[in-house]
A and B are shown apart, each in its own frame.
Chain A
Amino acid sequence: QVQLQESGPGLVKPSETLSLTCTVSGASISNYHWSWIRQPPGKGLEWIGYLFYSGSTNYNPSLKSRATLSVDTSKNQISLSLTSVTAADTAVYYCARDLVVGVGCWFDPWGQGILVTVSS
């Protein structure tokens, strides 16, 4: 079955760039959208953005252009870069396959998530 695994540093300093990778196994990243989602401790889910395997992207405007998604088809990986981080960016970050059919959309499956703490 399709499995996703997030990886990257668990601690990032304020004002620096958060960089995470999502490795997909059990399926090719081609022909699908892939999203990053985050969840601050004790809070709800926030969609960060999605990427199509061809490289086209769409982002949550609330992140004010700090987020960039990219794809490496040779490694079957999707990456997230978030610049100028603050403590408010501390969260568990998830990647998920983003499925769209007609007027429906859903995320399945999800990675297990990775906690990233922003602190000096």
Chain B
Amino acid sequence: NAGVTQTPKFQVLKTGQSMTLQCAQDMNHEYMSWYRQDPGMGLRLIHYSVGAGITDQGEVPNGYNVSRSTTEDFPLRLLSAAPSQTSVYFCASSYSAILNTEAFFGQGTRLTVV
């Protein structure tokens, strides 16, 4: 039962570097999303996808790109890392994009930008 798998678990970047956070789910879920978690702010939606080939912006999309070439994978790209992107990132998936189904979360990626 892998569920939602995120890699890496920890990452330190220098300002200006780029990187990709990986997310994969093995539950054939339609809906996938990326959140960032900052102290006192809960989780905020960065980008989401309602199916392969379809992505859209969430609440805080600036500085991030996503793509969804397969149902299973939903990578998040940081184009040019900034200290403001220091955060914990969570990937989540849900069975359906049109039904109110629960979200399953990965274990998170703790990113520090110096």
A and B form one complex: no
Interface on A for B, CB 8 Å cutoff?
Answer: none
Interface on B for A, CB 8 Å cutoff?
Answer: none
